[in-house]
Chains A and B, each alone.
Chain A
Amino acid sequence: MRFRACVENVPTFCKIMQVIDRLQKKCIIQFKPDVMRIICLSDANEAGIQVWSEIKVSTLFNEYRIQSNADNIISMNIASASLLHALQGIQNALATSGTGSGLGGEEVLMKLAKKNDQALLNFALTTPTRTGRLQSLTYDVRIEVLRALDMTKINEPLCPDADTLVLLPSLPTLRSPVERLRALSSTLFVRANIGPPTKLLLEVTGDENEVKVKVEFGVKYVQINRQEEEDAEAPGKDKERLYSVPIVAKSFVKFLNCHIVNGHVIAAICHRHCLILYFYIGSAGADAGGVLTFYIPSLVDDGPM
C-alpha cells in the first residue's frame, strides 16, 4: 500500500483533529481516493457518542495519491492527540516562517511509512526559521493499520428517519447556555417540533430536582424533498408536537467543540432514540468541505418529560 499527499489546509485539519481529540483518545482514519473518513466509536468514549465524518480530500489535501489492495482504501487506528500535536507543530512552524497557513509556500508532505516494523504516518516539511535559514521538521505518528476485514465490522449506526430536522443556531450562541445547563444537570433534553414556528428547546431538571431550566431558540426547519412529500400527504401531522431526546449533557458540550471550525449544523431528532448532528464544514450543502456526523444515543429515562 502506498499513500502520500500534500497537506494544503493545515489549519482546518488541525481544528478537525482538535474536535476529535476532545472527544476520544483514539480514532479510526480511513483514507479513500476521494474522501477521508474519521470515525470515533462509542465504546471508547464515556458519552456514547459516535462520530462518523467524511471530508472531501480536496478540502485538505492536494497531490493526493493512494493505492492499496483493498480498493485503494487504507484504514488505520491513530491516537488523536498525537496527530493533533503533529499538526499543531506544523502550524507553528509555518506561522514562524511567516506563511502562516501552508496555503502556498512550504509543502507539507504526508505519507504512510514504516520504521522498525512500525507503521506510521509521516509528516515532513522544510520551512525557514525566524532568521531565514532553512530547517527540516518531521513528525512520525504511530498508526495501527486496519485490515479490510476489520473495517467490515465497523458500521455506521442505523437510525430511523428523523422526526424533525432543524438548522441549529450558531454554535457560539449555544455554548454558554449549554455550559450552564450542564452545570445544573447531567441529563439534557433536546426537543424540537416541526412548526412553523419551529423551536428548539434545551431543558434540564436539576440533579436534585432543585431547578428546572428551559432554553428556547427559534430555528428553521430543514426540508428534505422526501420530507415535503410526506408532509403533503399527511396534513394532519402535528406541527406543534415536540420530539425529545434525553442525552448526556456532556456529549452535547463535546459536540459544541466544533465551534472552532466554521460550519453549519443540522440536527435530526429521532424521538427517544437518538440525536444526530450533522456538522457541515464551511457552507452547508453540496459544496461543503465535508461533514462530521455526531450520533448521540438517547438515555433511557423514565422521567415525567
Chain B
Amino acid sequence: MPSATNASAEPAKPVFTASCHDVRYLTALLRGISFSNRATVMAHEGGLRFSVEEARTMTGDSYVHSWIFDEYEYNDPDFTQSQSQTQSSQATVVPFEIRLNTLIECLNIFGTAGLSSGSKQQHKKPRNNIGDDDDDSDRDGPLDKFFQGNTKGTGMRMSYAGAGYPLTLILAESSSGPTATCEITTFDSDPEDRLEVEIDNEDIALKVILKSSWLRDALSELDPSCEKLTFFGNPPSQSNNTSRSTPSPLFRILAEGMFGSTEMDYPNDREVVETFICQEPARFSYRFSHISKTLKALQVSIKTSLRIDSKGALGMQFLMPSGQAKEDDGTLFVEFRCIPLDDRL
C-alpha cells in the first residue's frame, strides 16, 4: 500500500475545507459503505465522493454533496497552474485513500454521530434465559451511538491540505464542551486500479423503486448461509393474470442456499413498489455475500432505486436522510454497483 509522504512545499490553500453543525448525516453516508476499510476520496467543486470496492465485483460510492455542509470550500490544487477556470471540476483532482473506519470513529468521538433507526436498536442487549444480564447495561460504550434519541449533535470542521497531508478534523458538541482534534493519515491512490462498473442507462431491463424498509426486511430475514440472490421482474400486464396457477409476482427476490430457498414476492401495489419498469420478464443473479453488504446503508436509507441493464449490471441507489427536509428529493445517496453471477457456470 502506498504510504503518505510529506509534500515539499505547503500549498497556499487547503484542497478543501468543510464544516457542519451535525455530523450525523455525513456519518450515515460513510457508514453505508464501511464494509470496506479502504476508501478512495475524490474532492471536487460539488462535494466529496467516497468509494469502496469489494472483490472486484462490487463498488460502493457515497456522494457527499457540498450542500450537506454549512460551509464548503474547494480549491483545485492546480488552479494556479491551469489557465482555464472552467476546467472540469474532476479533471485534475488527485484522489487519496483513507481508513474509513478510523474516520467514522473520529466523527463519532462523542457518541452522538448516530442516526437512530429502528432496526439498529433491535440488536442490542442479548438476554439470558430468565431475566437480563446486568453487565450488559454497563458495556454500552461503543453502542451508545445506537441509543441516541437526543438532539445534541457533534459539529465538525474538516480540512485537507493536499497530497501527503493528513485529513484534519476538529469536532465538538458545543462551544463550551470538550473538543477533539484528529489527524487521519491519507494514502496515495491509484486511479487506474479502481473498479468501475458500467451500467448502460439506455438499456435498462428492470427498474424498481421501493421503500428501503422492504428491501432491508427482506435481506435481514434471509438465512445467513444464503449464497445466491436472484431478482425477477415480470411486466405488469402478465403479473395479474387470472390463470389457475399462482400469478407471477411483479417483483421477486429469490434467495438460495444450503438451507433451502426463500422467495419474497412484491405485488403491484403502490404502497410497496413505487415505480416499476420492465418490458420483458427479467432475471438476474448475484452473490448474496455482496448484496448483503448493502444492509448498513439500507438501515438508514429512505428509498431504494434498483436498476439492472440487459447485461445484468446492477445499480442500487439508496436515498439517505440529510436533515434538511426540503432537500430530501433524491440528491443524497449511496450507490452500489454489482456485476452479476453468470448463471450458465
Shortest beta-carbon distance from B37 to chain A in Å: 10
B105 to A184, Cβ gap below 8 A?
yes
Interface of A is mostly: helix
Residue of B108, B109, B134, B184 near A210 (CB, 8 A) is B184
* 9 further contact pairs, Cβ within 8 A, besides A215-B179, A215-B180: A176-B141, A176-B145, A184-B102, A206-B102, A210-B185, A211-B99, A211-B106, A212-B166, A253-B141
CA distance A217 to B178 in the complex (A): 4
Residue of A169, A179, A206, A210 near B141 (CB, 8 A) is A179
Question: Is A53 an interface residue when CB atoms closer than 8 A count as contact?
Answer: no
Question: Is A65 an interface residue when CB atoms closer than 8 A count as contact?
Answer: no
9 of the cross-chain contacts (CB-CB < 8 Å) are A18-B134, A18-B138, A175-B140, A175-B141, A176-B111, A176-B112, A179-B141, A211-B183, A213-B183
In chain B, what residue has the closest Cβ to A174?
B178
A176 to B178, Cβ gap below 8 A?
no
Name the B residues within 8 Å of A175 (CB-CB).
111, 140-141, 144
Chain A positions 284 through 299: 1 when the CB is less than 8 Å from some CB of chain B, otherwise 0: 0000000000000000
Q: A177 and B183 in contact (CB under 8 A), knowing A88-B134, A169-B178, A218-B178?
A: no
Question: Is A159 an interface residue when CB atoms closer than 8 A count as contact?
Answer: no
Bin chain A's interface residue count.
Answer: 20 to 34
Question: Is A115 an interface residue when CB atoms closer than 8 A count as contact?
Answer: no
Chain B positions 173 through 204: 1 when the CB is less than 8 Å from some CB of chain A, otherwise 0: 00010111111110000000000000000000
Name the A residues within 8 Å of B260 (CB-CB).
none
Interface size on B, residues (CB 8 A): 27
Question: Is A226 an interface residue when CB atoms closer than 8 A count as contact?
Answer: no
A-B residue pairs, 5 tightest by C-beta: A176-B111, A179-B141, A217-B178, A212-B183, A210-B185
Chain A 164-183 residues near chain B, CB threshold 8 A = 169, 173, 175-181, 183
A257 to B138, Cβ gap below 8 A?
yes
Please list the residues of chain B having a beta carbon within 8 angstroms of any beta carbon in chain A: 99, 102, 105-106, 108-112, 134-135, 138, 140-142, 144-145, 166, 176, 178-185
CA distance A212 to B185 in the complex (A): 8
CA distance A206 to B105 in the complex (A): 12
Name the B residues within 8 Å of A217 (CB-CB).
178
CA distance A253 to B142 in the complex (A): 11
CA distance A179 to B176 in the complex (A): 22
Name the A residues within 8 Å of B140 (CB-CB).
175
Residue of B105, B110, B184 near A183 (CB, 8 A) is B105
Residue of A22, A169, A211 near B102 (CB, 8 A) is A211
Shortest beta-carbon distance from B257 to chain A in Å: 33
Name the A residues within 8 Å of B179 (CB-CB).
215-216
In chain A, what residue has the closest Cβ to B181?
A214
In chain A, what residue has the closest Cβ to B183?
A212
Chain A positions 209 through 248: 1 when the CB is less than 8 Å from some CB of chain B, otherwise 0: 1111111111000000000000000000000000000000
In chain A, what residue has the closest Cβ to B171?
A215
In chain B, what residue has the closest Cβ to A182?
B141
Name the A residues within 8 Å of B144 (CB-CB).
175-176, 179
A180 to B108, Cβ gap below 8 A?
yes
B185 to A211, Cβ gap below 8 A?
yes
Shortest beta-carbon distance from A131 to chain B in Å: 18
